[in-house]
Amino acid sequence: MKMMVIIAHPNLKDSRANSAMAKELSNHSTIQVRKLYEEYPDGKIDIEREQQLLLGVDRIVLQFPFYWYSCPPLLKEWFDQVLTYGWAFGPGGEALKGKDFIVATTTGGPENEYRSGGRNWFTISEYLRPIQATINRCNGTFLPAFATYNADRATGAALKEAAKRYLDHILAPAEALYR
């Protein structure tokens, strides 16, 4: 399976959690890793290039820190620019049909704050519904997300372990992710 991980972190070098995840990916030459904020520091996305890269893979992982219950702005812009009518959705828009998508996100809060009655009221899965709806509209297959909670306070060892679980998650066959 050909896989591409799109990391959308505006300050990756200062992120302990996302950096640990990216480092774990670097040990696997079969995974194409792209860093949106490094590739497009001016925010001007090469739409044709992005679409061609998506065509060449079977699974797309979207890795980002959880920002105000959503993704960072450049990833939202990437969705708006790259997933075009007639290419990703609408009449003739079947370029992403059958491709797997996984969201991998990090949050500073503990998992127990992301539930009914918790500080944030909803689960990460519930907050990711707009991204899931986008992928579904584009004929992709939205697989279960991976979340690293409490990333701000986690020890280096805990982040390293989370990064290993992340790699296992994104490499797993789709059927295994539903168990």
- Quote the pLDDT of residue 120: 67
Q: The domain 3-177 belongs to what CATH superfamily?
A: Flavodoxin domain (3.40.50.360)
**Separation between Cα atoms, residue 162 and residue 77, nearest integer Å:** 28
Q: How many CA atoms lie within 13 A of 63 on its CB side?
A: 31
CA-nearest of 100, 114, 117, 171 to 148 is 114
Contact 78, 8 (CB under 8 A): yes
CA-CA distance, 113 to 118, in Å (whole number)? 4
Phi, psi (deg, nearest 5) at residue 66: -75, 115
pLDDT band at 110 (very low <50, low <70, confident <90, very high): low
* Each residue's pLDDT tens digit, 121-168: 878 888 899 999 999 999 999 999 999 887 888 788 988 998 999 999
